[in-house]
Amino acid sequence: IGISVALTNTYIQTQIKKDDPLYQCINGRNDLHYQISATLEVMVDGKKKDIPANVGITRDCKRSLYTLSDDGTIHISSTKNYPFEVGQFLWVWGFNLRDMDETKSKIYANGIESPDFVHTMIEDGTHYKAEFVSKNQGAPTFTPPQN
């Protein structure tokens, strides 16, 4: 029974993700009617973190959210208008948001702080700046002696 439940769950998840632009491979598709780009600058503890080329691109799959170069330009290509978020790009990139203090971190869209933080929608032509503060920033880099 356990195996059939697991297989059923896997099948359902596959069917749900099949139509979700975040999970689709867009290689060779000619029905990508929604195409936009925006720029993202990422700072961690006051230091710029470079966004590499080919985020969202592997040998076998090109995702709807991707980069082609390391200049911070995010490209979005999808079969439909979809509310892509800055946090979704960070997820595709593999950026470890769990290590960041969300209460001290901010995201700006064209210089204006977004109240939506990582849920800020990516809009065509917009410049985003993410300023993250790591959870351990300011923590001592040594272990004090124990008495």
From first to last of the 147 residues of the chain, give the pLDDT tens digit.
666 655 555 555 555 566 688 888 999 889 999 999 999 999 999 999 999 999 999 999 999 999 999 999 999 999 989 999 999 999 999 999 999 999 999 999 999 999 999 999 999 999 999 999 999 876 655 565 666
The domain segmentation of the chain, as residue ranges, is 2-132
How many other CB atoms are there within 10 angstroms of residue 40's CB atom? Answer: 20
User: Which overall architecture, per CATH, does domain 2-132 show?
Assistant: Beta Complex (2.170)
Tokens 């993410």, residue located = 130
0.85 exceeded by the pTM?
no
Nearest alpha carbon to residue 86 among 44, 130, 50: 130
CA-CA distances (angstroms) from residue 108 to 4, 13, 112?
47, 34, 5
Q: What is the pLDDT of residue 136?
A: 81
